[in-house]
Structure 1
C-alpha cells in the first residue's frame, strides 16, 4: 500500500508540474515563451481610428442660407456639397430669400428634421441666436459663416473683410493719384459689410481728396437695382471726369455698376469690387469692361473650409472660435489676354488663390479615400 501511495504521489507531482509549465507558457512568463496573441497597441489604435471614421460617414447636413443670389453664392454651395459628398454625407439647402424671419424658421426646421449638423450662411444674431442655442442643446453641431452670431459651441468663419476692402481702396486711390470723386455701393445690416465699412471710413480719413459724391445699395435684387441707380447717377454727373471710380462692396453690386457704366459709354470710370466668381472673372478680363479689379476668397474654398470645421466638431476636435479665411487681390493686368479662364484656373495667375488647406486634417484625407 505504501509503495502504491508513493507512486501515486509522484504521478500527481509530475502532473502538477506539467500544468504549471503549460500555464506559464501561455502567460508568456518564461524566457522562451511565445509572443502573446493579443492585438498590439498600434493595431488597437488603428481599429479605433477606423471606427471613428466610419461614424463620420452618412452625416446629414443642412445648409441654411440668408440668400443665395448670384454666382458667388452658387459656387459657395458647390464647395459645401463637394466636400460633404467626399466625406460620405448629404446636404440639403434651405434658402431664405433674404428674409431673416424665414431664415430663423428654416433653422428651426433643420433642427426638428434631425440633421446631424447645420451650416449657417450669413444672417444676424437677432434672428439666429435662439435657434443656434437650441441646436447646441440638442447635440447638433453648428458652424456659421459671415454672421455676427456669438453662441458658445458655434464657431464662426469669416472673410478678412477689412483687408479685402483695404486692398481695393488702396489701389483705387493709387490709380486715381489720390484725388477724385467716387461712388460707393454698400448696404448696412450684414456683418461682412459692416467690417468693410470700417476700412472705408479709414480710407476716407487717409485720402481727404477722394470725395464721395454718391452712396447707395440694396441687397434685394442687388444687381438690377444697382444698374438702375448707377444709370441715374451717370445722368446726374454726365461729364467725363465727374466720376473717377466706383467702389462696390459686393460682386453683385460691381456687376450692376459695371453694366450701367459700359452701356453709357463711360468706361473712363473704373470699378473696384469685392468677391469673385466665374462670371465676375469673365467681366474683369473683358477689356471693354470698367470693372478692373476685385479682392476675394475662393467661394468654393469657403464652403469646403466650413464643412471641414463642422467635421472637426463631429470628431470631437478643438476648433478656433473664429477662423479668418485667406483672401487675395485680383486685377486685370494679372490675367491672360489670349483666353478666358475660370476661378479653377485662377491659381495659375494669382498666387494664393484656391486650394485652401485651412482646417484640413490628415484623417480627412483618409475619410475621403474611404468613400
Structure 2
C-alpha cells in the first residue's frame, strides 16, 4: 500500500508538472497577442489575419538570417531544407549561420545579422544565458525573432518546440509496455541542450514510475560524429553484457544516438535488444524499416515541417501580425510494426501516421498569394 501511495503521488506530480507547462504556454501565448482577436485554441492563435492582400512589408524580397547551434545529422539537414524551401517560396533570401556547437559563436552570428539589418532572424537551439543579450538587441532594433528548441523567454520573441515532455513520455511508455515493466535498459543522453534536458525530466520520473526497469548504463556526447561515437560506445557495452537478456532495451532521446545504438546492435546480432528513440528523418526511417532492425519506436515531428512553420511565424511577425510567444508542435508516435513492409519515405508517412507533416499553424490568407507572386 505504501508503494501504491508513492506511485499515485509521483503520477500526480508529473501530471501537474506537464499541465503546468501547458498552462504556462497558454498564458504566455495570450500575453504575447496583440489586437482584438481572441483565438479559442493554440492553432487559431497562429492564424491572425483575415485579409488575402499581401502586406506592404512583404512586397519586397525579405532577408532572413538562420542561426543554428549545430547541423549534426539528417534531422538538422531536413529542418534546414524546410526553412530554405519556405523562405524561397515566399520570394525571400536566407543565410544559414552554423555555430558548430559554439554558443559564443552563435551569439556573434546574431550580432552579425543585426549589423547586416536583416528583416528577420531564426534561431535553432542555443541557450538563453548565451543568446539573450544579442536577441534583446535584435528586438530593440525592430528585427523579429523566432526561435526553435531554445529556452529563450524574451517578450516579443516566439519560441516553438516539439513538446519534449510528450516526445519522451510516448517513447518511454511504449518501451515499458513492450518489456512488461521489467528489465535492464541503457540510457544514451547528453546535457547542455534545452530539448535534451526537458526529455530528461520525464525520464527521471519514468524511472520512479517503473522501479523494476533498471538503468545499467548511461553515456552519450554530441560531436561531429555522434552516431559513430555512439556506435563504438554501444559496441563496448554489448561486450560487457554479452548474454541475451542482459539488456532489454535502449532509450535514445536523439536520433543520432538511436542510429548509433541500432547499428551496434545489428552488427553484434543482438536484435533481441529494442531501441526506442526520439526524432525522425528519411535515413532514420530506412534504418527502422530494415529487416530485423532493433529500432522499434520513435516519437517525432516532421523536421522540414518544423522549419516551414518557423518561417511562417517569422513572416507573420514581419507583417505586423500577432503570434504566440510559445508554441508546441504536436508530436507523433511512429511504431515500425504499423508500417508497411516496403520501404517508405517521410513524404509517405502521413498515410500511416495520421496528421504527420500537416501542420497548418502560422498560416495567413495572404501567404497563398505571396507564393503565387513569387513562382519562378
TM band (smaller chain): 0.7 to 0.9
What is the distance in 2 between the residues matched to 1:236 and 1:110? 49
TM, length-normalised to structure 1: 0.85
Correspondence for 2:198: 195
1:303 has 2:303 as partner: no
Correspondence for 1:211: 214
Q: How many residues align?
A: 323
Larger RCO (alpha carbons 8 Å, 6+ apart): 2
Cα distance change on mapping 1:206 and 1:49 into 2, 3 Å: closer
What is the distance in 2 between the residues matched to 1:100 and 1:346? 34
**Residues 238-247 or 213-222, more deviating:** 213-222
What is the distance in 2 between the residues matched to 1:327 and 1:351? 11
**Secondary structure of residue in 2 paired with 1:344:** helix
Correspondence for 1:84: 87
Post-superposition Cα deviations, 1:112-139, rounded to whole Å, max 9, x if no partner, equal 1221111000000111111101111111
What is the distance in 2 between the residues matched to 1:90 and 1:249? 33
Post-superposition Cα deviations, 1:193-225, rounded to whole Å, max 9, x if no partner, equal 111111111211110000000111101131111
1:252 has 2:256 as partner: yes
1:173 has 2:195 as partner: no
Offset, 1:327: 0.8
**Residue of structure 2 aligned with 1:135, choices 128, 134, 138:** 138
Q: How large is the Cα RMSD of the aligned pairs? A: 1.3
Offset, 1:50: 4.0
Correspondence for 2:247: 243
1:233 has 2:243 as partner: no
Correspondence for 2:331: 327
1:283 has 2:287 as partner: yes
What is the distance in 1 between the residues matched to 2:233 and 2:188? 10
- Structure 1: gaps (5+ residues): 1-47
TM, length-normalised to structure 2: 0.84
Offset, 1:51: 6.0
Post-superposition Cα deviations, 1:212-266, rounded to whole Å, max 9, x if no partner, equal 0011110113111111111111111111100000000100000001111111111
**Residue of structure 1 aligned with 2:126, choices 110, 123, 127:** 123
Question: Is the 2:52–2:369 Cα contact (8 Å) retained in structure 1?
Answer: no
Cα distance change on mapping 1:201 and 1:107 into 2, 3 Å: same
Correspondence for 2:267: 263
Question: Is the 1:224–1:256 Cα contact (8 Å) retained in structure 2?
Answer: yes
1:315 has 2:326 as partner: no
Correspondence for 1:17: none
Post-superposition Cα deviations, 1:101-120, rounded to whole Å, max 9, x if no partner, equal 11111111111122111100
What is the distance in 1 between the residues matched to 2:60 and 2:351? 34
Correspondence for 2:348: 345
- Structure 2: gaps (5+ residues): 1-50
**Secondary structure of residue in 2 paired with 1:345:** helix
**Residue of structure 1 aligned with 2:297, choices 279, 293, 298:** 293
**Secondary structure of residue in 1 paired with 2:78:** helix
What is the distance in 1 between the residues matched to 2:360 and 2:313? 12
Offset, 1:288: 2.0
Post-superposition Cα deviations, 1:16-54, rounded to whole Å, max 9, x if no partner, equal xxxxxxxxxxxxxxxxxxxxxxxxxxxxxxxx9746256
Question: Is the 2:99–2:105 Cα contact (8 Å) retained in structure 1?
Answer: yes
Offset, 1:57: 3.8
What is the distance in 1 between the residues matched to 2:256 and 2:59? 36
